[in-house]
Structure 1
């Protein structure tokens, strides 16, 4: 008795189903990309502000309260 591998016939892809799924999910995918871009932009803005927020108050108060005598 010889062992022959069993051939498996893969089912054919139904392109109509794939197109329908894409049409249904398309708005959610676009929303996801736009939301990620918005969150990324907000994070970049926050990270750019952090150095100015973390400065010591002594350094900022000296610059703002300096008196110029003429």
Structure 2
């Protein structure tokens, strides 16, 4: 009997390994999703804000370019 190879159920071993890997990586995955959501929300806010700032900048340039003649 010692010469017979041991048969392992590879599907259970792989499933156990995947479950263990998921348990280890789960906090990092959740942090990554939250970080991406935060960065995306910030970029959307910045993009929405930029068109509002453009007219004010043009008005400021017009005021500075007036020529005063004496």
TM-score (ref. length: structure 1): 0.61
Unpaired segments ≥5 residues, structure 1: 1-10, 60-70
The alignment's C-alpha RMSD in Å is 2.4
- Structure with the largest fraction of helix: 2
Deviations 1:18-62 (A, max 9, x none): 110000000000000000000010001000100011124428xxx
Please give the residue correspondences for 1:28-67 in structure 2 after superposition, counting only pairs within 5 Å: 28-55=28-55, 56-58=57-59
Unpaired segments ≥5 residues, structure 2: 1-8, 61-70
Q: How many residue pairs were aligned? A: 51
Q: Secondary structure at the match of 2:10?
A: coil
1:26 aligns with 2:26: yes
